[in-house]
Amino acid sequence: MLKSTSSSIPNNDSVAVALWTTLGARLYHISVALRTRLRAASARQAAKRLQLSLIVTTTILSALGGSIFAQEVPTITVSKGDKINLTVSPLGGSEGAAVTKTLQNDLMLSGYFILSGNAAYIARGTASGGSLQGQVVDRSGGTVLSKSYSGRARENAHRFADEIIETLTGNKGFANSKVAFIATRSGKKEVYVADYDGSNARQMTHDGVISVHPSMSPDGRRIAYTSYQSGYPDVYVIDLMSGARNRIVNFPGTNSGASFSPDGGRIALSVSKDGNPELYTVSASGGGARRLTHTRGVESGPSWSPSGDEIVYSFDDSRGPQLYRISAGGGSGQPIATGHGYCTEPNWSPDGKKIAFNVRGGGGFEIAIVDLNGGSRVVGAGENPVWGADSRHIMFTEGGALYMLDTVTSHKNKILDRLGKITEPSWSR
């Protein structure tokens, strides 16, 4: 479960603050002022991953002969909640029902909310004619979020969900993100793209040859991938808006594992033109090739740090692949201690704190996460893990289907199947 933390409230399950007073009238005004302050603090802390449940218990002093004496100590208790209680009120308008359903699904999949009737916040609004007016209010009726969206109903719902998540938790949402992957429904490995929840899946290539290693640009507008269309493994980039496709890397040998930099301006990849696969970077249009590694081993699976200053990759010198990190400008790769003997397909989290990767175990592949401050853990079976924008959820494949895992609660959702065998997901951020 998600554990909330606070910079202003000590890390106890409850904080008791005794308020002493000698005048009943003064106690009343102090109580009102404290309630107001705590509501404001709750709203501010919501932007820092905090959901406060406030229980205010006050004891009214009795008056005798014009003098007022405290009979008990009034106490304010602030408790930390695991999830935020939120109600999605059915939205009005011709598109209201569809938007309500999508919004509820987005908020549930985020892992941050309990959708209940007795909620601290209420999401409401109207949706019709490609327009959504969304609002979130707190229990007292105060407006927490109010914003308008225009576009297709589903996209408006996703954008509203992301705004709610970021406003109430301080974390970036992923409801409006896309996922690219390889599927074999046509009998060949082709590139597909879908909404993060599996909706609107569509085939992007019809090459009739092997296509592998798709990489979604952070803004979700382009996909880089390796195709054997020319008879050789070259890297292509597809513009998802126009459908235009360009071959950007066609060095002799293998060109694979393309990975967009966080700003979308560069691509890291593995190139074998020097004899064995080495790490290179090129511009997103294919120029300015730069070699990063100079080893006798095999470098593969590059993934950028969120700052774009470093790249993590898998290095195999015949003793089993291990994770390494290297400056995006080149230099000597530095090993990352994982506690595992076989490590491939690393993916750096957007918050820069963790790397998800594949290990061998249990008769197949498993997903592990290494904390760059120390320690690692296996979170389950699966292949090709990729982080979502919130650095909490992972998309991966297992048994030919696409899944999403909440790494905090360990809750697992099947996102997509029935497209043949699905492999190699890449998630926009």
CATH of the domain at 337: 2.120.10.30
Report the chain's mean pLDDT, rounded to a whole number: 85
143 with 255, same domain?
no
Q: Where among 147, 169, 191 does a domain terminate? A: 169
305 with 370, same domain?
yes
What does the alpha-carbon distance between residue 47 and residue 140 come to, in Å, rounded to a whole number? 18
348 with 387, same domain?
yes
The answer to the question of residue 18 being in a domain is yes
Give 132-161 pLDDT, tens digit per residue.
999 999 999 999 999 999 999 999 999 999
DSSP lists the bridge partners of residue 26 as: none
Residue 104: left (phi > 0), alpha (psi -120 to 50), or beta?
A: alpha
Q: Where among 61, 80, 99 does a domain terminate? A: 80
196 with 325, same domain?
yes
Question: In this structure, are strands 412-416 and 334-335 parallel, antiparallel, or unpaired?
Answer: unpaired
What does the alpha-carbon distance between residue 279 and residue 188 come to, in Å, rounded to a whole number? 28
193 with 122, same domain?
no
What does the alpha-carbon distance between residue 274 and residue 293 come to, in Å, rounded to a whole number? 11
- What is the per-residue pLDDT for 117? 79
Residues 345, 306, 273, 230, Cα dihedral to 10°: 80
280 with 339, same domain?
yes
162 with 64, same domain?
no
DSSP lists the bridge partners of residue 28 as: none
Q: Where among 30, 65, 80 does a domain terminate? A: 80
The answer to the question of residue 355 being in a domain is yes
Identify which of 193, 206, 94 has the alpha carbon closest to the alpha carbon of residue 428. 193
Angle (CA) 232-238-241 rounded to 5° is: 165
396 with 277, same domain?
yes
20 with 151, same domain?
no
116 with 191, same domain?
no
32 with 162, same domain?
no
What does the alpha-carbon distance between residue 163 and residue 134 come to, in Å, rounded to a whole number? 10
The answer to the question of residue 128 being in a domain is yes
31 with 131, same domain?
no
φ, ψ at 221 (rounded to 5°): -100, -15
From first to last of its 429 residues, the chain has per-residue pLDDT tens of 333 333 333 333 333 333 323 333 333 333 433 333 333 344 334 334 333 333 333 333 333 333 333 333 333 222 334 799 999 999 999 999 999 999 999 999 999 999 987 899 999 999 999 999 999 999 999 999 999 999 999 999 999 999 999 999 999 999 999 999 999 999 999 999 999 999 999 999 999 999 999 999 999 999 999 999 999 999 999 999 999 999 999 999 999 999 999 999 999 999 999 999 999 999 999 999 999 999 999 999 999 999 999 999 999 998 899 999 999 999 999 999 999 999 999 999 999 999 999 999 878 999 999 999 999 999 999 999 999 999 999 999 999 999 999 999 999 999 999 999 999 999 998
Q: Which amino acid is at 399?
A: G
What is the total count of domains within the chain? 3
Range of the domain at 112: 84-169
- What is the per-residue pLDDT for 13? 36
